[in-house]
Amino acid sequence: ITNSKRNKYKVFLQGYDADWRSVTYDNSVSFSNLLPGDYTLKILGSNNDYGWSDTSLELDITVVPPLWMSNYALAFYFLAFVFILHLFINYRVRHYRKANRELQEKTVNKKQIEAQREVLTRINRSLTDSINYARRIQRAMIPTESSFQYLFPESFVYLRARDIVSGDFYWFHEKDNKVFVTAVDCTGHGVPGAFMSIIGLDLL
């Protein structure tokens, strides 16, 4: 009499297992984490008198890949990668072109600034030379400190212009045993004040 509970089974999943699995009384088998592909399930069985079947029962199994692993998905991934790479390259090219334009503009601006600085330097040098010449004229018209100290031995003169020349000056004149001394502050500063001081000296 056949006793189904004493039947034995051997299972081999070609493409997944390396060899036949151990003999078991369980008439069911499960596989997990099967990769997409084609497999062949081979089964050998024996009844309660230990008589194994001569040929294995075979079952072809095809595991279909999910959508995200399909050929269409792989093609989409590739195209998306190429598109993103293209965007990145275009972004870097635009960035470098912008940086190059800014560098060229800075170079042009630097040259313009240098040219303007040279012009301003020449103008400043010319103005300074003119003001220094005006100072020499002004000092030639103002009495010397030594002549002032000749009349007033215990004295000194402190005259310092804020802008090389100024409208401040002193003047003295001796007449009839009297000395007339003036300390004058003309209207204006710098060159305008110096012109006013020359007029004042001339009038005095």
Q: Indicate the burial class of 137 (C-beta count within 10 angstroms; 0-12, 13-18, 19 or more).
A: exposed
| For range 130-136, the mean pLDDT | 85
Instruction: Yes or no: say if 12 and 36 are a contact pair by the CB < 8 Å rule.
Output: no
**27-62 confidence digits (pLDDT tens):** 888 888 888 889 999 999 888 777 788 888 899 999
**76-96 confidence digits (pLDDT tens):** 999 999 999 999 999 999 999
Share of the chain above pLDDT 70, in %: 98
Q: Angle at which helices 71-141 and 190-203 pack, to 10 degrees?
A: 10
- Indicate the pLDDT class of residue 129, thresholds 50, 70 and 90: confident
Locus of tokens 């001569």: 54
Q: Which two tokens stand for residue 7?
A: 């039947």
Q: Which two tokens stand for residue 118?
A: 């040279």
66: alpha, beta or left? (left if phi > 0; alpha if psi -120 to 50): beta
Statement: the pTM of the whole predicted model exceeds 0.85: no
Output the pLDDT for position 136: 87
